[in-house]
Every structure is written in structure tokens, then in C-alpha cells.
Chains A and B, each alone.
Chain A
């Protein structure tokens, strides 16, 4: 499995993959295609952030939009009201999200299983309502557009879509690297132990509340970075987009379909779901509301009923057969 050391064949594949990803915008110039790649990378990244807590520790949050929104609003407020670059705002947003995750986690972790999930939904919704209601805080329900400065890399604004592609590719790389490191650390093992059986983990001395708090900090920090990026990319922010329940859903969905608690699961899941959704849109013209989520929910049900380990479960078997295609080591 992925917890084994890195083998050479794996490294070669990784290097080829990275080279392809870096070269992609140079080869593909259609801005429609780049837009899809950016969506795939962005949701892979959000899924990766969700997966740290939802996948490894099985704390199934459906409220990650809270941190996406906090990140988006923090950097936008800093940029518009104080002229601070979103690059700094992005980190500030991450810190705000981390601070917010402490009281939210303190409340939600009092519940387990499905009621934890409901409490996370409620907190994200409550945050959205706060931003809708208090106009003095941040533009109320109308939201605001981000002033377009043309090509201003220092303000995270670019004329070419390829630049955004590289930014989000970098974010995903950071997310995957953090996951990779955690997977191999004592923390990764504690997380999996909590995910398997929290009471048993505590009985053998895992400080479950502390571990859950720490992973929630990391997960919310990363999710907030995605919020800043997205706002800069679409040049617009309002509570309905920034705290959209769909963000929370998709973060969980891509991870479960891809395979929760695995490094590449969220990436694989996003590729499948986003490709499906793009194909659906081009066939149906995107005119009928609800088609995309209908298909998503059918995929989700199929995965849960027949393939609870997700696509990664299927793929890792095939992959392992390939990477260890030496004389059988028994």
C-alpha cells in the first residue's frame, strides 16, 4: 500500500506526472480546457484537505465551506479595505480559519458519527448567515467584485489562465506533500487508529481530542487557502458562493469516490467527477438544473454499496501488481 517506502518505479511515474502537469498549459492553450484543469486541481486540493480529517481520522465533516469562506473573506477584506496582497491574505485567511476551527471543533467534537456531521453543517450555515446578515462586516448578500488590476502577480492577478493553473498546482502539491508526511508520521497512525475505533485508540493512550483538534487545524488552514485562490480566480465574492454547501459536499464526495484515507484518493475522485460533469454539461448544454448532482449522488451511492474503498481500492491492486512485477517475493 501507499504506506510502504517509495520505490523507484513509483518515483519515475511521479516525475513523469509532474513533468506532464507542468507542460500541460504550454501544450493545451484552450482557455476552456485550462479552466477545467484548474477546477480539477482546486477540488483535488480541497478534497485533500478534507481527506486529512475525514479520510484518515474518519471525522466526516460536511462543513468545510466554513473555512473556504473564511479564507476567501479574510483575504478579500484585507485586499479591498487595506490594500494587502492576497498572497499575505491567503496565509492570514488560513490562520483565521485555524482560529475558527478551535471553538467550532470544541463544539462539534462533542458529538460523534452522524451528529458530528450535522453539527459541522450547522456551523458552516451559521457562518454564511452571519456574513449575509451583517452588512458592515463584508458587503452583505450582494457580495463584491475584486478590483481588476490587470496583470499583477504580486496581487495574485494574472492575465493568462495558465498562471492560475500553476498557483493551484502548487497548492495541490503542498496539500499532497503534507498528507504524505502525516501519513508517515506518528500522527498518521494515531489518525487511522481514531478512525478505526476512537474508544480503543484512547484506551491504548492516543490523546484523541488533541489529535482531532490538530488535524482539524491543518485541514481548515488548507481549505482556507483554496477559498482565497477561488475568489481571486473568479474576481467575485458573496456569502452564497464562499460558504456554498456544494463546496462542503464536493470536498467529501471526491474523497469518498476516490478512496478515503488514501493520498491520491481525492485527486482520482475529482478527475472522475469533474470529467463526468464536464461531459454531461457538453451533452446537455448545462440547461437542466440538478443533472450534475443527480449523477454525483448516483456515483456516490454506487461506490458506497459496491466499492467502499473507492477507486483507489480498485486501482491500488492493479498498481501494486505492476510496481512489484519482479519474481514473486511471496
Chain B
């Protein structure tokens, strides 16, 4: 009995690490730039396709192609902030919501046109490996993904709290006007925030590739999780998003185990609705 529960919790935590990379990106952008990036999931999808093609064409391991997908998406993030999002920042929500939403639609449907709806997988030497501890089963690929995801999240936390650039970003997130008065260039901060967030999404994509299929709609799975996690974890709060992502991974996994194979999403939506009903400001702090 306890073994099934423990196994479900482990499965949930492992996938929750990936959710964390996506939702930390969403919450970072929201915290610093004050917009919601509806296209975040599509950058996970792009990260997956980058790793897929590198593995397929050159036999590069998806974990190695992380060092390609992350910088590529960092640059994409900077360009998107500089050429698109910068033009719609203002008091009105509508252009921001629908610009990133249009971007999501565009990337998704371009992928559909270019790569078709087929599922692409990469088989690595460790894809079928697993540790057996007691009666528990821990797949190697998922464990690696989880560990790398936690390392990247930790690195981001260190960056935000110890470097000048990171402190400047946190300052810009807390109070943009005062930060600007202190000589912080907001657009530069926004570019860096978008770059980091997209790089994290790209990392999530590469880390997923050894055990998950790439297809044009794959980002939608992760972005919905990320949005719920970001609401639960209090908008703009990186640690909150991380904890909420892990919780959601576990909740989804328990839902699959005890409610039914296709019930993961229902559990997640139920959690969102419960959060909204009883604690709309998230697990801590104050929402907008």
C-alpha cells in the first residue's frame, strides 16, 4: 500500500521538476516584465525539437544538446522582448495577452506545418534504465532531468540573490520606477528575464527528450501546469512556483494512480479552482 503511494509521489516529484523549470520561467517574466507569456510552452516544444534534430542528425545526446538549446532560446527571448513585447508594454492588458497568445498560436502551427503532427522520440542508452530501491522504481532519465532541473533552479536563485544583475532584476521586479531612478535600464532587465525564462523552457525541452515525445502541441501540456503552479505559488514568486510545481506533479500523479489514467488534468484544474476559491493570492503573499 505505502509503496504505491510512495511510487506515485516519486513519479510526481520527478515530473514536477520539469514543471518547475517552465513555471519558474513564467513567474520570472511575470515578476520582472509584468506580462504573462502564453507562448512559454511552445519554447519547451522548440527545445524538444532542437534536441530531437541534434540527436537524429548528429547523434548528440539530448542532455548534451542542453548546451545548444539553452543559449539559442536565450537569444530568442532577448529578440522577442526587444522587437515584440517592448512595443506593447503599457497600462492596457489586451495587447500583451494577445501578442504572446498569437506568438503561441504561430509557433505551434508553424511546427505543425514544418514537422507534422507526428510524435518524435529519441532513444538513449539510459532511456530504459531504472534504479530499484526497495520496491520502488526510479527511471534514470527522469531522475537526471529532475536533478538538472533542481540545479538550474538553484543556479537561478543564486544568480538572483548574489549577482549585481540578479539584484537589479529583483529590484526592477519590486518597483520598476524606483529601479529606473537608481539607474537600472528596464528594457535590459526585461531582455535578460525573457532570455533566462526561455532558456529554462529550452532546458526543460532537452531534459524531457530522453523519455517524452516531441509533437507540436506538447507545450500546451506544460504551460497549463505552469500557469496553475504560478497562480498557486503566488504570482511572480520563484520559490513559490517551484514548490507549487512539485506539489502539482505529485497531485497529478496521485490523481492518475487513484482516480484514473486520464484524470491528471482534472486534479490539476480542481487544484486551480480550489486555490482561486479559498486562497486567490496563492500560497503566500499578495496577488495583483
Q: A residues bordering B, Cβ < 8 Å?
A: 58, 60, 62, 107-108, 110-115, 117-119, 121-123, 125-126, 129-130, 132-133, 249, 252, 256, 260, 288-294, 296-298, 300-301, 304-305, 308
Contact = CB atoms under 8 A, between A and B. Distances in A.
A293 B110 CA distance: 9
Given A133-B260, A304-B88, A305-B87, A290 B93 contact: no
Contact of A118 (B113, B216, B231): B231
B97 A129 contact: no
Contact of A117 (B97, B216, B224, B272): B97
Contacts of B262: 129, 132-133
Contacts of A305: 84, 87-88, 99
Nearest to B37: A114
Given A126-B273, A129-B269, A256-B98, A291 B113 contact: yes
Identify which of A114, A133, A292, A305 gathers the most chain B CB atoms within 10 Å of its CB.
Answer: A114
B276 A289 contact: no
Given A110-B280, A126-B266, A304-B88, A294 B110 contact: yes
Contact of A110 (B94, B101, B263, B276): B276
5 contacts: A122-B227, A288-B113, A290-B111, A297-B105, A301-B103
Nearest to A129: B266
Nearest to B111: A290
A298 B68 CA distance: 28
B102 A113 contact: no
B277 A107 contact: yes
B109 interface: yes
Contacts of B260: 133
A219 to B, nearest CB: 17
B116 A126 contact: no
B287 A107 contact: no
A62 B96 CA distance: 14
Residue of A108, A123, A133, A301 most packed against chain B (CB within 10 A): A301
B230 to A, nearest CB: 8
Contact of A301 (B35, B99, B273): B99
Nearest to A299: B102
Given A114-B96, A126-B269, A293 B84 contact: no
Contacts of A125: 224, 265, 269
Contact of B280 (A111, A256, A288, A304): A111
Contacts of A130: 266
B228 interface: yes
B235 interface: yes
Interface string B12-46: 00000000000000000000000110100000000
A107 B88 CA distance: 28
B288 A113 contact: yes
Given A301-B99, A305-B87, A290 B269 contact: no
B106 interface: yes
A308 B88 CA distance: 10
Interface in B72-99: 84, 87-88, 93-99
B235 to A, nearest CB: 7
A271 to B, nearest CB: 20
Nearest to B260: A133
Contacts of A304: 88, 95, 98-99, 102
B112 interface: yes
B18 to A, nearest CB: 19
B117 interface: yes
A118 B227 contact: yes
B105 A60 contact: no
Interface in B220-237: 224, 227-228, 231, 235
Given A125-B265, A300-B102, A305-B87, A290 B277 contact: no
B36 A60 contact: no
A14 B32 CA distance: 49
Most chain A CB within 10 A, of B99, B266, B276, is at B276
A111 B93 contact: no
Contacts of B106: 294, 297-298, 301
Given A125-B224, A305-B88, A297 B113 contact: no
Contact of A122 (B103, B263, B272): B272
Nearest to B270: A126
A290 B98 contact: no
B98 A113 contact: no
Given A58-B94, A122-B224, A126-B265, 17 more contacts: A108-B276, A111-B280, A111-B287, A113-B97, A115-B235, A115-B287, A117-B97, A118-B36, A122-B228, A129-B262, A130-B266, A133-B260, A133-B266, A252-B98, A291-B113, A292-B109, A301-B84
